[in-house]
Structures are given as structure tokens and as C-alpha cells.
A and B are shown apart, each in its own frame.
Chain A
Amino acid sequence: DTEVTQTPKHLVMGMTNKKSLKCEQHMGHRAMYWYKQKAKKPPELMFVYSYEKLSINESVPSRFSPECPNSSLLNLHLHALQPEDSALYLCASSQDRAGGTEEETQYFGPGTRLLVL
């Protein structure tokens, strides 16, 4: 089973709202990722968690706040977003961090489509 689930599938929020995106995997993977994808563009990495610790933050604005409560769950807390933050937010997981082995293969969830008004 290589399933990563994400909720909600769609989200509309105002610029003053606080919302959260949720990602879950039960494959025993120890690395989890958040990506942002704009229309007709490849995904852009936002955050990487490895063994429940934040290992990479790609200079993401503080209005995006990631959280990894346990090895199966990854959240992305959203606050005071801007309309340009509207995008597809993808979560991914891999068995381990990069190492030139099978363990680095990332499996993606279906994404949450976010619209900020």
C-alpha cells in the first residue's frame, strides 16, 4: 500500500481565516513533505520533516506553519494567507531521507486545492 491521504480536498478561506491541512500515511515512512503547486507548474518544495523533526524550510512565509504530531501525521496550519497563496498543496512521504536507495522514493497524496479570497 502506497497511499497518502489528504484532507480536505478543497478549501476556500478568507484572508483573515485560520485553517489547517492534514496529511496522513500508514506506510511507516519517516520523512514527510509539503509542496505547493501553481497551475501548469511543477511542485515547489515547502517543508521536509525527517523523523518528526523539521529538516528543511524553503524560506516559506510564516503564515504557513507546519506541524508533525507523530510519524504518521503532517499538518499545515494556515493563517492570514494572501490570494497568491491559492494553489494545490501536495503532501508526500518517503521511507527515509535521500540516500540513493529505494527508500528515498516519494509518494504523493491527491492534494488539497486551496482558494484564498
Chain B
Amino acid sequence: AQSVTQLDSHVSVSEGTPVLLRCNYSSSYSPSLFWYVQHPNKGLQLLLKYTSAATLVKGINGFEAEFKKSETSFHLTKPSAHMSDAAEYFCVVSEGLFGFGNEKLTFGTGTRLTIIP
């Protein structure tokens, strides 16, 4: 079974400082991992994804994440926060077991990112 833990429900950073949103996962198989962002009253936008290629994944808007199998982590980072980054961020895992009904994504509980001017 797969699961995701987002270690912080709320993160506040000042504009221009680094962002770190933490995510740990549990999976019985080689997982695919995703970060999605949701701005207020909007749908989910894919930020980046890991699907067993390079362990350092670059996404949109300057975000990146590193897949660390030994630590079962997939933390999201950005060198310099911008006001427009304020949103809810979801870490998501998929075990990708074709034919086993595992079309399901398992979502973390979300991290709300606040940017301080």
C-alpha cells in the first residue's frame, strides 16, 4: 500500500528566501511521485513529476524536487519565494500497478505556503 506524509501543514517564508516543503512517502513498489499546486478557488496544477528517470526533477516556476529512495523523501524546493507562490501544495504518490486498479493517486494532506512581503 502507498501513503504520503507532508510534514508541515503550514509553511511561512519571506519573499526572496528559499522554500522547502517536505514530503515522505511509503510504497511497496517503484512509485511515481508528483507535486501539485492549488491556488485559492482553483483546480490543481502539476508542478513536477518523478517517474523513475533523473532523481532531481525540475518543474515550472523555478521549483524542483529530489527523489531520495534511501530516505523515502521527495521534498519540494525553490531558491527564492515569490508572492505568487502562496498556495496549497500537495505531494502525491502513485504505485503505477497497471491492471491492479491502481489508477489511484494517494494525496498528502497538503501544505499551505504563505509568503511574507
Using CB atoms and an 8 Å cutoff, list the residues of chain A in contact with chain B: 2, 4, 6, 31, 33, 40-43, 45, 48, 50, 55-56, 90, 92, 94, 97-102, 104-111, 113
Contacts and interface: CB of A to CB of B under 8 A. Distances in A.
Contact of A110 (B42, B49, B98, B105): B42
Contacts, number: 80
A98 B103 contact: yes
A92 B44 CA distance: 9
Nearest to A45: B104
Interface residues of B, number: 30
A106 B103 CA distance: 10
A108 to B, nearest CB: 4
Q: Considering residues A97, A100, A108, which has the most beta carbons from chain B within 10 angstroms of its beta carbon?
A: A100
Given A98-B102, A105-B46, A108-B44, A42 B109 contact: yes
B98 A98 contact: yes
B97 interface: yes
Contacts of A97: 98-99, 103
B26 interface: no
Contacts of B43: 4, 6, 90, 108-111
A48 B43 CA distance: 18
A107 B46 contact: yes
A111 B98 CA distance: 27
A43 B44 contact: yes
B48 to A, nearest CB: 10
Nearest to A102: B51
Given A43-B107, A111-B42, A104 B94 contact: yes
B100 to A, nearest CB: 8
A-B pairs with lowest CB-CB distance, top 6: A100-B96, A42-B107, A99-B98, A110-B43, A108-B44, A98-B96
